């Protein structure tokens, strides 16, 4: 049995998080190390390690997560725009092996990323 990720522990209520939204499919909470005035992580409750591990049955789930992100962004007052990032794998900068969508906003964001 592999060890639970930190995000699975948040889902299971074992460690605290500043949760801003939750439903039967996903959970959203503020990033512990915010890179912008608004930095929220949206994660599926289902344990999917990364984009690379998505399967056809996850199609609805991913679409649902984007609609949740849109709703959270509106609630956070990000009418001037925001960015959604999903890091995948080592070279993609992924550090937690549970699929997560970064919602960043509240300041002008430069491009390209590092």
> Considering only residues 87, 101, 104, 105, which one is a binding residue for ligand AMP as defined by CB under 6 A?
87
Instruction: Give whole-number Cα distances, 8 to 25, 80, 102, 103, 110, in Å.
Output: 13, 32, 16, 19, 31
Whether 64 is catalytic: no
Give CA–CA dist 114/107, Å, rounded. Answer: 17
Beta bridge partners of 19: 29
Choose the catalytic residue: 53, 64, 98, 100.
100
The answer to whether 93 contacts ligand AMP (rule: CB under 6 A) is yes
Kind plus residue range of the DSSP H or E element containing 22? strand 19-22
Interface characters, 19-58, with ligand AMP (x: CB under 6 A): ----------x-xxx-------x-----------------
Binding interface with ligand AMP (CB under 6 A): 6, 17, 29, 31-33, 41, 87, 93-96
Annotated active-site positions, please? 100
């Amino acid at each position: 049995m592999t060890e639970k990720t930190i995000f699975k522990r948040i889902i299971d209520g074992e460690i605290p998080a500043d949760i801003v939204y939750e439903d039967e499919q996903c959970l959203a909470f503020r990033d512990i190390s915010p890179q912008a005035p608004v930095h929220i992580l949206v994660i599926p409750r289902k344990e999917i390690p990364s984009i690379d591990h998505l399967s056809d049955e996850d199609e609805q789930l991913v679409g649902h997560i984007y609609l949740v992100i849109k709703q959270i962004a509106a609630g956070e007052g990000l009418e001037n725009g925001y960015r959604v990032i999903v890091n995948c794998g080592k070279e993609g900068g992924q550090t937690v092996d549970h699929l997560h969508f970064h919602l960043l906003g509240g300041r002008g964001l430069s491009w390209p990323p590092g």
